[in-house]
A and B are shown apart, each in its own frame.
Chain A
Amino acid sequence: MATIAPERPRSRKLSEGPKPPGRERDRVFRWFTFLAALLVLLILALIFVSTVNQSWDWFSTRGLRAVFSSRWNQKVYPRGTANAGQPIPGSGFGAWALIFGTLYTSFVAILLAVPLSVGIALFTTDVGPRWLRNPVGYVVDLLAVVPSVVFGLWGVFVLATPIRNVYQSVADFFAGVPVLDKIFTGNPLLGTSVMTAGLILAIMITPIITSLTREVLATVPIAQKEGALALGATRWEMIRGAIFPHSRSGIVASVMIGLGRAMGETIAVALVIGAAVRVSPALFSPNNTLAAIIAQNFGEAQGIQRSALIGLGVVLFVITLLVNVMARAVLNRGERRLAAGK
């Protein structure tokens, strides 16, 4: 990487004569690669500009209420009528309840996925029998191959009906317990709910958190692990005393990337969350997320409704961008520290 291509000597005489062969081609090739890399910056900028442009009606007419109002009742006059696309009195287009739903479902997913992912990552680096480590890695990666829509299909047609009974008994168990009976309940109690969405999301983000955590765990110096074991630590003490302190920030960053995925996951959630916009802690009742409501309603949307749905996309883009920027910054800092401190 650090190798420098030999430059032809730039003497005046040479530049006066015929140009050395291939020099132009070299420059053109460099420019092409540069433009291709620049495309990333261009696309990110265009995503922001074009979606803000299309949702400007929503942002500009509602100001802060666009994001901080929790009234979402997307009624507009239908196509072909005089005021087509205009809001019907009583409608509301506030993103707050959906931001809540997004954070809530991804929080549930993270709670479920983190112990699993870190456990499996430890299995593949330190705990599992050596012959089983790579196969387990492959199998967990297989989960990432299953398309999101297939998880959604399975969630709504296979999981949702029987799991309702489980929810019912959990809700019965916590009935009457202060605080908890507000969370472990449903109104109505349904199989398509925050909890089901959280479960499906947890399955879907486990592969990414696992593979990122594996990379972080692989950077723990073997001398530290062996040192801990030599001092008489059990394997679990070695994990807690040598592995976790060394990789804590990396694991946190991996989890944040998983969080970003969970918040942006659309189709599976759209199918299993049941579509009800509200700020409610009830785990077993329907809710909705930013991404899911776009997928459910965008097809027929028009006028201010379409503008608002694209605006929800902008909100989602900004939130996931922030999460990813923070997470990647932490991961990169860890890598640099490792490269410098070796």
Chain B
Amino acid sequence: MTAPTSLLTPRRGTTGRHVRNRVATVGIWLALFIVLVPLVAVIGSVIVKGASSLSGNFLTQDINKITNGQKLADAFAKVAGKQSTQDGIKPAIVGTLLITGFATLMAVPLGILGGVYLNEYGGKNHFARVLRFLTEVMTGVPSIVMGLFIFSIVVVKTGFSLGWNVSGFAGSLALGCLMLPVVIRATEEMLKLVPNELREASYALGARKSKTIVSVVLPAAAAGIVSGALLAVARAAGETAPLVFVIGITRTTNTNIFSGGNVALSTEIFRNALSYGSYAAARNRAWGEALVLIVIALTFTLLARLVTAMFTRRRAA
């Protein structure tokens, strides 16, 4: 690979190959710091700008009634001074939690069942291989496509569709479709780690396969599955694209997920930034919403880490 002279390397760090080695090492460290910059910058901005919005009744009030396009500028100008007492984001917080919650209720049980099929029943047969491959591919389907899909099959009134109109539930369906392959993959990976001896011991006691899976295999993998599901929830809570045109809009809290427009933190941030970005009040509201959204997503991520940590400690013991 290198010139014969390098065999007689006199001192480390003087020949070209050692210099190159050092350059590469520095480059790799540099990559790490370059990635840290945007992470710190983004989270820092959100905390600094978001915290100043979180005053008064921001978390408990309805969203200010600013809808009419023509009067938009006036409305924002009026509100700008006393925003903290009038404006709020409660409907968006409630919407995010409800929509994500329902998506979780649908996607996690189905995802676990799917993972069980792939690992416990399908194994290496052809059909399971195809399904496993499609599950991996499905994790790469863009979230906006999921939104269009739910719009085309649930919301719209024409063609090949259920025609249910916009609702929080349509958003839950879109998020559920995004979460499903993630949960299936996580479940399968965790089931792979369950030692076969456990299954065999259960069979030896006369338990049937379904009984074995439900009372031996799944409990053994529970922590890992819960952790994977929590990560999927954290991702889903921040998704905007699948929700933005299937959940509609509301300014008051709508706890009925099955009918009427709804609103989520993510879609609110998008709307405020895209359409009303030139108004200070809208911008402040968006930063406040971003802070709340990041806190929600981080909470689920930390929970997942906590569960994993407990799991690994128990395994080690």
The answer for the CA separation of A140 and B31 in the assembled complex, in Å, is 11
A40-B293 contact given A3-B203, A29-B210, A299-B244, CB 8 Å threshold: no
Cβ-based interface call for B63 (8 A): no
- Quote the shortest CB–CB distance from A44 to chain B (angstroms): 6
Stretch of B78-86, B120-128, B219-227, B250-258 on the interface side: B120-128
B192 touches A294 (CB 8 A): no
Task: Describe A's contact surface by its main secondary structure.
Answer: helix
A235 touches B21 (CB 8 A): yes
- Quote the shortest CB–CB distance from B82 to chain A (angstroms): 22
The answer for the CA separation of A6 and B245 in the assembled complex, in Å, is 51
The answer for the CA separation of A321 and B189 in the assembled complex, in Å, is 23
Chain A residues closer than 8 Å to B148, beta-carbon distance: 51, 54, 294, 310, 313
Within 8 A of A (CB), among B85-125: 110-111, 113-114, 116-124
- Quote the shortest CB–CB distance from B269 to chain A (angstroms): 5
Within 8 A of A (CB), among B184-240: 184, 192, 196, 199-200, 203, 208-214, 234-235, 237-240
Cβ-based interface call for B316 (8 A): no
B145 touches A317 (CB 8 A): yes
Task: Describe B's contact surface by its main secondary structure.
Answer: helix
The answer for the CA separation of A47 and B242 in the assembled complex, in Å, is 13
B200 touches A152 (CB 8 A): no
The answer for the CA separation of A33 and B152 in the assembled complex, in Å, is 27
Choose from A23, A30, A157, A241 the contact partner of B283 (Cβ within 8 Å).
A157
The 8 A CB mask of B281-304 against A (1 = contact, 0 = none) is 001001100100110011001000
- Quote the shortest CB–CB distance from B231 to chain A (angstroms): 9
Cβ-based interface call for B175 (8 A): no
A-B contact count (CB 8 A): 304
B210 touches A26 (CB 8 A): yes
* Chain B interface residue number, banded: 35 or more
A43-B177 contact given A29-B210, A316-B144, CB 8 Å threshold: yes
Within 8 A of A (CB), among B162-190: 177, 180-181, 184
The 8 A CB mask of B121-142 against A (1 = contact, 0 = none) is 1111000101101111110111
Cβ-based interface call for B65 (8 A): no
B241 touches A266 (CB 8 A): yes
A235 touches B25 (CB 8 A): yes
B145 touches A47 (CB 8 A): yes
A234 touches B21 (CB 8 A): yes
B42 touches A40 (CB 8 A): no
The 8 A CB mask of B8-33 against A (1 = contact, 0 = none) is 00000000011011011101111110
A150-B110 contact given A40-B135, A46-B149, CB 8 Å threshold: no
Cβ-based interface call for A143 (8 A): yes
The answer for the CA separation of A273 and B143 in the assembled complex, in Å, is 18
Selected A-B contacts with CB under 8 Å, 18 pairs? A1-B192, A29-B214, A33-B121, A36-B110, A36-B113, A39-B114, A40-B114, A40-B184, A50-B153, A51-B145, A54-B148, A123-B28, A147-B294, A148-B239, A157-B273, A236-B21, A271-B274, A323-B140
Chain A residues at the B interface, C-beta cutoff of 8 Å: 1-3, 5-6, 22-23, 25-26, 29-30, 32-41, 43-44, 46-47, 49-51, 53-54, 115-116, 119-120, 122-123, 127-128, 136, 138-154, 156-158, 203, 206, 232-237, 239, 241, 257, 260-261, 263-267, 270-271, 291, 294-296, 298-299, 310, 313, 316-317, 320-321, 323-325, 327-329, 332
List 16 extra interface pairs beyond A33-B114, A34-B121, CB under 8 A: A44-B138, A46-B149, A47-B146, A53-B152, A54-B161, A119-B28, A120-B28, A142-B301, A145-B298, A149-B238, A235-B21, A236-B25, A239-B24, A264-B141, A266-B143, A310-B151
